[in-house]
Every structure is written in structure tokens, then in C-alpha cells.
Structure 1
Amino acid sequence: MSNDPSLDAINREILFHLRQDGRLTNVELAKRVGLTPPPCLRRVKRLEEAGVITGYHAVVAPEAVGRNLEVLVDVEVYATDRKTVEAFEETVAAYPEVIELRRLFGRPDYFLRVAVPDHAAYEKFLTGRLSGLAGVLRVESHLTMKKIKAGY
């Protein structure tokens, strides 16, 4: 591997195991991918430096932090000028209820994941914050019946 870590079979295996458990020790990770610890650690460091691995995080139970309800939200906007679009994105991204915000190609224009304590809190968020923003044309909310697969 040069400065640009190629995603060979071992690097892909490293990524697979780190996605499953980002807290693996280097010794355990090395054992799982068939390396000794020093070259395994060098590979992980190169993957981090190259931006392939962008961070590590904890998966937190939503109910433990008072976010029992997750709503998937489609938003269409009528504004096309850069200033309004940037203001919309900056405002929505700053809302603590919004845990994911994506601008999409086609319709809808945006996809949001919103995490709140309950239905009343979502109604307050929707009517008090999201629906009143400049440029918002339509908002469609989707409640999850059953989460079948999440993450990687």
C-alpha cells in the first residue's frame, strides 16, 4: 500500500470488522483478519489518514436519551435560489431533533430523520419549526412500522 490505501481483501475485511464493532482492540482485529498487530495497526492508520475511516461512534438506544419516536420526513421546496436553499439547509441542520439531513436528486428535495420523545413533540417540531420555513412547499411524514435493517 502506498499513501492511497487500496481496498484489497484485507482492508475490506478490516472495514467489515470495524463496522461490526468499532471498539475491537488492534490485537483482536489483527487476529480476525489474519495479520500480526503491527501491520494491522499500520493499515488502520492509513485507512484513517486517507479518509476511508472517517470516525468511530457509539450506537445509543433512542429511549435512553428520550428520543423514542423516529420519523422519516420528505420535504419539497419551491425555492431554487441559492440563498434560500442554503438558509433552509443551515436552519434544518441546526435543529437538534434532526439526526440526518440529505439533499436528494429529484423529488422529494430533502430527506430528514427526526428523533423526538413522542407524537406531541413531533407535531410541535413540524408545525412550529419545519412547516413555517421559507421555501417549504410540502412535508410528508413517515412513521416506521418495523425496523428490519439499520446501519451497515
Structure 2
Amino acid sequence: MPTKTSISRESSGLDRLDRRILSVLQLEGRITNLDLADRIGLSPTATAERVKRLTREGYILGYSARLDPRLLGRGLLVFVEVKLDRTTPDVFNMFAAAVRRAPEVMECHMVAGGFDYLVKSRVADMAAYRRFLADVLLAMPGVRETHTYAVMEEVKAEGPLPI
């Protein structure tokens, strides 16, 4: 008869210890393997092997530092709805390629609904946004219309994934 652990592992690919590792790493990516092992109650060797497996299997995509955008001259966060003039595979592909080349674009998501893409960008201020809109976004292939939402306050940003 399967145990509760084997059932949860079969259905999601993760057991309780894997989930604990991911929860800790997502909040404390610089934690040492020794401290992580102590936190989850495994040996350092077993912990390191699990982290390697979770990385190999694609659960852990990488590690990075969170930077303060205001100190780096990127204090204004904007979201932009983008409507394309045609919704054909070639226009989607050309727009996506242009977005990938634009360093000002932090995120871009194709969405279902009243517009085609949602773009997230950080710029210095409204004047910089105006230049980004005119010189970058509106110059992308297929862009017909945009609607911009400037963020007044970030209530919750980059929260951890529920695990």
C-alpha cells in the first residue's frame, strides 16, 4: 500500500522534504548547504543531492540578487496593455522577438481577453516612459494600440510561490 509521501511524490514529483527545500531557497537563495540541511533535518550530502536533482529537473531555475530599482534610476514601474493590428502567428513571432531585444521590458505576457500582451517595464520617470513608448514599444511590429498603467505604490512584489 502506498504511503502518504509516495502518493504526494507521484502526483507532483515532490515530497515533503523537496517542498521544504524549495520554500527555504525561494526566500533565502544564498543560504549555505549546511544551514539548509540543518533547517530541513537532512545531512548536508543528502540536501546537496536533492538541490542538484531539483535543479536538474527544472524546479530551480536559477539564483539572482534583487536590486533596488530607485537607486538604479528605474523608479517608475509601468504596465502596458498592447493590442496588435493582426493576430497571426507571424505578427506574434515578430512582436515577441522585438520584445526579447528590448532591455526596458522586464516581462511580457500574451494574455487572453481584451488585448494581446501585457508588458511590464521600469523606467526613470514619466519622460523616460514617453521615450520608451514612442521609440521602443510603438515601433515594435504589429502594435496597433496601447494603454498604460503607471504604478503609484507597489503593495506586494515578487512574492514567493505557494509550495
TM-score normalised per structure 2: 0.85
Q: Letter of the 1:77 partner, please give it.
A: L
Identity between Structure 1 and Structure 2 (%): 37
**What SS does the corresponding residue of 2:71 show, helix, strand or coil?**
helix
The Cα shift of 1:89 comes to: 1.1
Q: What value does the CA root-mean-square deviation take over the aligned residues? A: 1.8
Instruction: Give ranges in structure 2 of 5+ residues lacking alignment.
Output: 1-5
CA distance in 2, matches of 1:34, 1:73: 45
Q: Which moved more, 1:19-28 or 1:107-116?
A: 107-116
- Mapped contact 2:98–2:141 kept (Cα < 8 A): no
Instruction: Give ranges in structure 1 of 5+ residues lacking alignment.
Output: none
Q: Does 2:25 match 1:22?
A: no
The residue aligned with 2:126 is 119
CA distance in 2, matches of 1:49, 1:78: 40
Paired residues for 1:61-76 under 5 Å = 61-76=68-83
CA distance in 2, matches of 1:108, 1:8: 39
**What SS does the corresponding residue of 1:148 show, helix, strand or coil?**
coil
- State the number of aligned residues: 150
CA distance in 1, matches of 2:83, 2:119: 11
TM-score normalised per structure 1: 0.91
CA distance in 2, matches of 1:134, 1:53: 34
Give the counterpart of 2:67 among 38, 41, 60.
60
**What SS does the corresponding residue of 2:70 show, helix, strand or coil?**
helix
Q: Does 2:153 match 1:140?
A: no
CA distance in 2, matches of 1:65, 1:51: 31
